[in-house]
Amino acid sequence: MSEPVFILGGFQTDFARAWSRQGQDISDMTREATLGALEASSLDASAVESIHVGNAFGELQRQQAHLGAMVAQVVPELWGVPAMRHEGACASSSLGVLTAMAEIEAGRYDCVLVLGVEEFKNLPGDVASQNQNAAAWQGHEGIDCKFMWPAVFGLLAQEYDRRYGLDRRYLNRIAEINYTNAKRNPLAQTRKWNHDPLAFTDDDEANPVIEPGTRRQDCGQITDGACGVVLASARFAQEHARRHGHGLEKLARIAGWGHRNAGLRLKDKIERSAGADYVFPHLRQALEDTWRRAGVPGVQAMDGIETHDCFTTTEYMAIDHFGITAPGESWKAIEAGDIEMGGRIPVNPSGGLIGLGHPVGATGVRMLLDAWKQCRGQAGACQVPDAKTVATLNVGGSATTTVSFIVGRE
């Protein structure tokens, strides 16, 4: 990348918090994330030159659109700052990050605030689930089901089984690892949850089938949540570091990025990849783009990964697409303990979408923030020792919109 983009700081709300039950809504989430990100970055609002907001379902969940303007509404000090909203399903806020980076790289702005905000707990679960179907191709997916996304990713599990063979023990183990990691995360939705000893087995009572190929513990935990990060040019970051008595080497930057899209329908993706090495070749290409831009040889250069695990099958897919194993052999990394804390390449030390929680449109910024925390040694009990290079993988829909970042520190 021609112009390095630095992360000055960021903030995450408590994902266990149901805002509507406290008489609050998405506007309050936006305010808390904005002020928290500015405080964490040691900046006044006057430093912000542009704002980007990622949100997937504001119109459906709260009948609230125009969320770029919401920031100035709830933080009047940002009145007059250009702002825009981005939508790409679960990858919405990652698209905001990409746009903010482009502004900085072009020299348009030096300091940009990126937020991800999503409210889900204000409506009954079945209604919120129905609203999320908007991220699929309405009326064209051809899937007979009650719950669209458990069905879609259940079909992905079945495709893995058809191509390579799939032992469900490894999906159950992914869920168990991520819930365990989340217990160490003070902001995780599930940090106080307790599970039946049979919850991570194929016991039909403790872990019932939701849709074919998907059981209860395979599912990520939809939640309310907001996150914010402040991105800066090298010029701004250097002056910011000088004012705080240190050099740029103390800061972490976005070293590489990848962004690829496919069509909406899962069936078409599966058919187009028949005979290919990977189930989602475009997703693999996004990762390769990220490594190339970062100037690294591949996953072996990573100290950790924050990846999309809206379902255990998504993480299972990510393991081989990252190249931790050969295609179809993700089970080997799980069996060997490679993806656990203390393993060869810890995956989702935060707890991921399954354990930490999934505020859909905010998840991309949350991943980037956790990668930044790892590189700065600020991840607390979730810290990977001596982490200096951490990758993220954020997908929207059935791996339709794919965005990856590498965060690094010298």
Q: Which of 26, 323, 354 is nearest to 182 (CA)?
A: 354
- Candidates 378, 326, 325; CA nearest to 349 is 378
Judged by phi (left if over 0) then psi (alpha if -120 to 50, else beta), residue 110 lies in: alpha
Strand pairing of 214-215 and 111-118? unpaired
Is 263 in contact with 21 (CB distance < 8 Å)? no
Contact 405, 290 (CB under 8 A): yes
| Residues 402, 367: Cα–Cα separation, whole Å | 13
For residue 339 the two structure tokens come to 């993806």
Q: Give the CATH number of domain 5-123+222-243.
A: 3.40.47.10
Q: Give first-to-last CA distance, the chain, whole Å.
A: 16
Residue 58 confidence (pLDDT): 97
Give the Å distances, CA to CA, from 150 to 78, 155, 350: 40, 9, 23
Q: Look at residue 385 in the predicted model and tell me its pLDDT.
A: 97
In the chain, domain spans: 5-123+222-243
The one-digit pLDDT tens for each residue of the chain (410 residues) are: 468 999 999 999 999 999 999 999 999 999 999 999 999 999 999 999 999 999 999 999 999 999 999 999 999 999 999 999 999 999 999 999 999 999 999 999 999 999 999 999 999 999 999 999 999 999 999 999 999 999 999 999 999 999 999 999 999 999 999 999 999 999 999 999 999 989 999 999 999 999 999 999 999 999 999 999 999 999 999 999 999 888 888 899 999 999 999 999 999 999 999 999 999 999 999 999 999 999 999 999 999 999 999 999 999 999 999 999 999 999 999 999 999 999 999 999 999 999 999 999 999 999 999 999 999 999 999 999 999 999 999 999 999 999 999 999 97
Instruction: Give the residue among 106, 117, 104 at the shortest CA–CA distance from 8.
Output: 104
Q: Are 35 and 75 in contact (CB under 8 A)?
A: yes
Has this prediction a pTM greater than 0.85?
A: yes
Choose among 295, 296, 303, 297: nearest CA to 386: 303
With vertex at residue 375, the alpha carbon angle to CA 371 and CA 381, rounded to the nearest 5 degrees, is: 80
Rg over CA atoms, the chain: 20
Q: Determine the Cα–Cα distance for residues 395 and 314; give it in Å rounded to an integer.
A: 9
